[in-house]
Amino acid sequence: MSRQFVSIVGARPQFVKVAPLCRAFAAPAYRDSVEHLIVHTGQHYDAAMSQVFFDELEIPRPAVDLGIGSGSHGAQTGRMLERIEQLLLERRPDLVVVYGDTNSTLAGALAAAKLQIPVTHVEAGLRSFNRVMPEEINRIVADHTADQLLAPTHTAVRNLEAENLAAKSLFSGDIMRDAVLFNVELSRQKSKILDRLSLAERSYGVVTLHRAENTDGPGLLALLETLNLIATDRLPLIFPVHPRTARRLQDEHGEWQANPRLRLIEPLSYLDMMQLLANARIALTDSGGLQKEAFFLDCPCVTLRNETEWLETVQGGGNIVAGVKADDILAAVSHSFDKFGDEVPDFSAAANQEFGAGDAADITAQAICQFVRGNQ
């Protein structure tokens, strides 16, 4: 008897996470018994932010693109709820899979739960303990709504236990580790980004900024000036500018000038970004996903936030949570340079211990099938 599973995705990191599960369900063990459909909410609707992933990462095209687009949290989530509910009523899948902590995650979990359709939350149990972050609210609600919680780390398992969710939790390892190990090899074959930007290995750093708390307000200008200082005194920085950040620069900080060694470029495809990160000397970011990717690729990271969901990257020696004050960021960069010098660090042992050995997609596929069999 064939089972139908629907994966709800809508943002860049979720496209990356769904790819290993697609490959797992395409294996002979599941090929004839599982129908796995991808539903794209359209939360990231720019081709540079979404379509290219399906091309590059060999992910099956979404069965449905809801085309929701941007908007306030309430408006966007409301439109998603309406459209996902309609879709689920038409399809009646055996289970819905949601990923991470976006509005697509929240809407998918709520819509399915209200229709009594089982929900699996991949990347469950993450906590920053900062409820100012919209992502924190999404994580908590998704975890308490879902029927099966697949935790990527042992810390996430403990967080779920503390919230009395142990009975429906399982340590799966991190599906992003599967993705990075697979995609870095793909990027070496396909990406020419170093040649295009005339970069030598480990001669530059990578910057990303996109979170509202960093881009929406006066703090953005202070961060940009700090990046100018690092580019001037330490090493050139490559800064693929997120659309949110680009809008703020244009609308509110048009007078600001980047140092010539701080290179602002258009958003990159995933494989180009993977190759850029794999060969960087340091990453400075407010992205949760990029913190992990840097760790998995042996690139030291400085996190431009006051907290992280990925304490394992800090404990493993690959990440410094610097906050957003200039002195703290500069000190973190100096510490990283002093610690690693010209050597390429190796975080692989800590990554394997804390995030799994790259078999999370297989564990996830098995867990989902066993859960459905046990509940029907």
Task: Assess whether 312 and 252 both reside in one domain.
Answer: yes
State whether residue 319 is helix, strand or coil.
strand
Residue 178 covered by a domain:
no
Q: What is the pTM of this model?
A: 0.89
- Judgement on whether residues 198 and 337 belong to the same structural domain of the protein: yes
CA distance 255 to 250: 9
Length of the chain: 376
**What pLDDT is recorded for position 354?**
94
Residues 231 and 337 in one domain: yes
- My answer on whether 38 and 146 are in the same domain is yes
pLDDT at 84 (0 to 100)? 96
Q: What is the pLDDT of residue 45?
A: 55
Are residue 202 and residue 287 in the same domain, yes or no?
yes
Mean pLDDT of 322-335: 97
Q: Catalytic one among 154, 210, 253, 335?
A: 210
Owning domain of residue 69 = 3-173+358-374
Report how many domains make up the chain.
Answer: 2
Claim to verify: residue 120 and residue 84 sit in the same structural domain: yes
User: Which backbone phi and psi does 303 adopt, to 5 degrees?
Assistant: -90, 125
Q: Give tens-digit pLDDT for 142-165.
A: 999 999 999 999 999 999 999 999
Q: Dump pLDDT digits (tens) for 22-56.
A: 999 999 999 889 999 999 998 755 555 556 677 78
Q: Quick check: is 144 catalytic?
A: no
Q: Per-residue pLDDT tens for 198-251?
A: 999 999 999 999 888 888 878 899 999 999 999 999 999 999 998 888 888 888
Classify residue 179: in a domain, yes or no.
no
pLDDT single digits (tens) 245-266:
888 888 888 889 999 999 999 9
Same domain, 345 and 364: no
Closest listed residue to residue 174, CA positions, set 287, 95, 63, 289? 289
Identify whether residues 257 and 331 lie together within a single domain.
Answer: yes
Report how far residue 79's alpha carbon sits from residue 142's, in angstroms, rounded to the nearest whole number. 17
